[in-house]
Amino acid sequence: MYCLRLVPLRQATRAGAAFGRLVWRLSPSQRRTACANLALAFGESMSLAEQRRIARASCESMGKTIFEFMQFPKLSRDDLLARVRFVNLEAMDRALAMGKGVIAATAHLANWEFFAAAFASTGRPLAAIVRPLDNKRLDRHVENLRASKGVEVVPRGVTLRAGLAALKKGKVLAFLMDQNAARHGVFVPFFGKPAATVSGPAALATRLDVPLVFCYSRREEDGLFSLVFSDIIPPCRRYDSEEENIIATTADLTGRIEAAVRERPEDWLWMHPRWRTQPADACDEVSRRSAVLGGWLPGEEAR
């Protein structure tokens, strides 16, 4: 890891792409998952050759992200900001100006770590909900890298109190919501297939009246990242049931993720088993209710 700091960022990006190609060649399980996901998402509308090309490029993108992340100790605030262009950042500023904090729904597109670091480098306060890594030593290293760029880490499992505290301080609270939520999610369409999805962003926006924004990063051909922000998204209010409104808002956010993936499919993490959990695999109680923030929502009793 230390050796990666000795080379310029652009060379690290190229080395990461080579690492991703190596993963593609040496990890048949990653290859199978990526290709199966693309077949499920696009079916006959995309040739097998194109699906395979995107799967391979997705592995390269993952490698780039890892190697770029390892460069963080040497990257200054100016270095980070020189590699990004913001798209509609004023929408986030309008949300922050409301003084309630902001819920940021995002996804594993392009380099989500660079997105967080560059955004925090603008001086805007950011807390990100993350799943701790199984390797404790590596997890501490990764957390320190994030914190060194001004990103507050909120480990999943202690999300509620720390997340609410971040919002009360007027911070942006970021959720990566494009991975399989298994028994702790609600089922909404993703590429036309039911996908278990965390409903935390929708639940907080609905129940606490906190502004909600969708954002993501996109790799550009000139080597820069575009950091894209939606306008403020009003939570669904058309149903009498709060739970149905939360699920509808979760579906809206997931649809926005799908649109971003369709725009640049190579940027997404196709190696993740997004559709592994299906409604028949979840018990009725868990599939019925929105289960987030450690298994419960604000306003319910902690279990």
The per-residue pLDDT for 31 is 95
Sheet holding 102-106, edge to edge: 84-87, 225-229, 212-219, 102-106, 172-176, 126-130, 151-155
**Helices assigned H by DSSP within 128-241:** 136-148, 159-168, 200-208
Tell me the average pLDDT of the chain: 89
- Residue numbers of the domain that contains 159: 2-279
Q: Is residue 290 part of a domain?
A: no
38-50 in b/e form (b: 16+ CB < 10 A) is beebbeeeeeeee
Above 90 in pLDDT, residue 285? no
Q: Is residue 295 part of a domain?
A: no
> Which residues, 6+ apart, have CB-to-CB distance to 222 below 8 Å?
none
Q: Is residue 31 part of a domain?
A: yes
Per the structure, how many domains does the chain have? 1
Above 60 in pLDDT, residue 202? yes
CA distance 136 to 54: 32
Residue of 90, 84, 133, 131 lying closest to 110 (CA atoms): 84
Q: Is residue 203 part of a domain?
A: yes
Q: Are 179 and 108 in contact (CB under 8 A)?
A: yes
Residue of 109, 79, 296 lying closest to 218 (CA atoms): 109
Predicted structure pTM score: 0.90
Model confidence at 287, in pLDDT bands (50, 70, 90)?
Answer: very low
Q: Is residue 232 part of a domain?
A: yes
Above 60 in pLDDT, residue 206? yes
The per-residue pLDDT for 275 is 96
Task: Write the CA distances from 112 to 134, 146, 167, 191, 233, integer angstroms.
Answer: 20, 11, 21, 21, 21
CA distance 131 to 146: 13
> Looking at residues 178-206, what average pLDDT do you find?
94
Above 60 in pLDDT, residue 233? yes
CA distance 229 to 213: 7
**Residue 215 is inside which H or E element, if any?**
strand 212-219
Neighbours of 23 (CB within 10 A): 18
Identify the residue whose tokens are 């490029």: 57
Q: Is residue 36 part of a domain?
A: yes
Q: Is residue 12 part of a domain?
A: yes
CA distance 14 to 5: 14
- The residue type of 172 is V
Above 90 in pLDDT, residue 282? no
Per-residue pLDDT of 98-132, as tens digits, reads 999 999 999 999 999 999 999 999 999 999 998 87
CA distance 111 to 69: 8
**Helices assigned H by DSSP within the chain:** 9-26, 28-42, 48-69, 77-82, 89-97, 112-121, 136-148, 159-168, 200-208, 242-263, 284-288
Q: Is residue 105 part of a domain?
A: yes
